[in-house]
Amino acid sequence: MFFVHSARPVLASGENLITNPDLEITDNTGLPQDWIKGRWGTNTTVFEYPVLGVNSSKAARVSISSYSSGDAKWKFADLAVTPGHEYQFSDFYTSDISSYITIQFKKSDGTFSYKDIGHPGPARDFQKFTATFIVPANTETLSIFHLLNAVGTLTTDEFELKDITALPPPPPDSNNLISNPSFEYSNGAGTSPVKWSKGNWGSNTSTFIFPISGYQSSNAAEIQMNAYSSGDAKWYFDEVPVNPGEAYSFSDFYKSNTKTYITVRFKQTDGTFKFLDIGTVEASTDWQTFSNTFTVAANTVSLTIFHLLKNNGTLAVDAYSLKKIESDPSKFSTGMVSIHFDDGWRSAYENAVPILNAQGFKSTNFIVSGRLNPNYPGYIQSPELLALQAQGHEIGAHTRTHPDLTTLSTSQMQNEIVGSRNDLTDIGITPVNFFAYPYGAYNTQTKSVVQNAGFSAARSSDGGYNLKTQDLSALRRQSMTSNTTFAQAKNYIDTAMNDKTWVILLFHEVNYTGNQYSVSPELFQEIVDYLASKDITPVTLGQGVALMQ
């Protein structure tokens, strides 16, 4: 059945018309304020609230266990709208079957009409649905149903409805260093954006497309890649002159059907290039924004930034921004270095920790708790882990079994993330405030589960240096591998100290196996000796995070 609520007034163009859109406010009946349950037909339906949301602890779920007819959904209060105006609707959802999005228009004569605007498929993790529509003549109010009409489960959160008819274009930004940042200016034939180039290398088939419809304008650029074996493809803007040590903020908008990567290319004084990875973003069928900050490497004269594709798939980009951070609140008062060990390898405990202890240095150790048993002889066991803690080294969680968390359901993520902390505290490790993503893999849902589990910060595999403004749920690191030289490690340290940033040196095994993620004890000794010679005392993750507040 449906219940009638009085319509909400029309708000200013561009504002979210839905009240309590993320279902965070609960009324005195225990239900989300300004939301009701809707069901009709012959079916057995259960409505649940609250359940875990996309970025919060509250969302709404509907489950149908037997079905003959009708549908079921959570419904927001009717909204007053303007006939002839264009509106944009979006929400986030997870479901184990296909669902439907339907608009209910109430006419001035009291009758109703309906319009289907979407039929999204199943989604194990939260996905965003977006659609636009024109309100028909004689409409007074509307509501939008994200509904089930078959046996299954649907969770919804973060609803949004905006009147986009008269949204003004964003004003030009005089601080943006990129020429033609939104691809609005093209060559005489209209086939290529001015001040932009195409980049492609390796074994793949890449097609560059321009123009396509943009984020908030008529133009954007796209890449389509297939037959991928190696390399990448990207659109990139003309080099921008910069000075070493300066801090910059970068952002763009993108749509893609595969994971994509953002890399800064620094041109050096001798004409060579250095590269800095500043982000990895998951696929998104709707325009999303990426943003991050970075510091210009030593000996740099100019830079450009690649939002690149290195898988079979499609990537569209638009609305680039690069700005110098004039007064730099992102810098620390002094540079910092941290030493991290992942997984709990015995070789690190036996070959590296004594070297640290001899200098009075402390490390942060992320432990795969499921390997704290004799079936894993290559890893330390509980007594050694307790001894490591007693020596002043910091212990963090690294899941129970080291899976790629982005491939798991929410409940599986929670078991791995919360369970690993519980395993550690059960043997006497306390506190366990920090987390590291296995393989460095994370997405929005993974970060949400980690944050909701109460971890203060998490480390990713994103390369680079941390500023005070770095996302605490995706701290960067520099990986120490079998190919790492002392000169490279020294450069990481010197850069952090000169630029007043924070570098995390990530180690795994410390032995002579030559495995990809191993370093020799001699290299580790050389790095520690260099830190001591420069009077640099490594900070633990907790100490570094405290200085970011």
- What residues contact residue 4 under an 8 Å CB cut-off, 6+ apart? 78
Question: pLDDT-derived band of residue 167, with 50, 70 and 90 as boundaries?
Answer: very low
How many alpha carbons lie under 13 Å from residue 441 in its C-beta half-sphere? 13
User: Average pLDDT for residues 118-125, to the nearest whole number?
Assistant: 93
Place of tokens 């004890």: 521
Q: Quick one: pLDDT at residue 5?
A: 29
Tens of pLDDT along 408-433?
Answer: 999 999 999 999 999 999 999 999 99
Q: Using the predicted structure, report yes or no on whether residue 126 has a pLDDT greater than 70.
A: yes
Q: For strand 112-118 and strand 79-80, is the pairing parallel, antiparallel, or unpaired? A: unpaired
Contacts of 486 (CB under 8 A, 6+ apart): 523, 526, 527, 530
- What is the pLDDT at residue 307? 98
CB distance 166 to 194 below 8 Å: no
Beta strands in 257-312 (DSSP E): 260-268, 273-281, 284-295, 300-308
Say which range, 188-197, 219-228, 436-445, has the weakest mean pLDDT. Answer: 188-197
Helix ranges restricted to H, 281-430? 346-351, 353-359, 382-390, 410-426
Tokens representing 111? 């009758």
Over 80: is that where the pLDDT of 549 sits?
A: no
C-alpha 36 chain-centroid distance: 32
Helices (H), 230-372: 346-351, 353-359
- The sign one gets for the Cα dihedral 10, 14, 17, 20 is negative
The pair of three-digit structure tokens given for residue 212, joined into one six-digit string? 């396509």
Could you give the CA distance from residue 518 to residue 481 in angstroms, rounded to a whole number? 5
Tens of pLDDT along 245-269? 888 999 999 999 999 999 999 999 9
Query: What CA–CA distance (Å, rounded) separates 447 from 80?
Result: 36
CB 433 within 8 A of CB 420: no
Give the CA angle between residues 234, 239, 242 to the nearest 5°. Answer: 130
β-pairing, 220-226 vs 313-324, is antiparallel
What SS3 state is found at 5?
A: coil
The CA distance from 274 to 286, in Å, is 32
pLDDT of residue 168: 47
Q: pTM score > 0.75 for this model? A: no
Q: How far apart are CA 244 and CA 320, in angstroms?
A: 22
Could you give all domains of the chain from N- to C-terminal order, each with its CATH number?
Answer: 35-163 (2.60.120.260), 196-324 (2.60.120.260), 336-546 (3.20.20.370)
Selection from 255, 185, 253 nearest residue 219 by Cα: 185
Beta bridge partners of 144: 103
Which token pair is 146?
A: 């994200």
| C-beta of residue 299 within 8 angstroms of C-beta of residue 305 | no
- pLDDT, one tens digit per residue, over 320-364 is 999 998 767 788 989 999 999 999 999 999 999 999 999 999 999
Order across the sheet with 112-118: list the strands: 79-80, 139-147, 100-107, 112-118
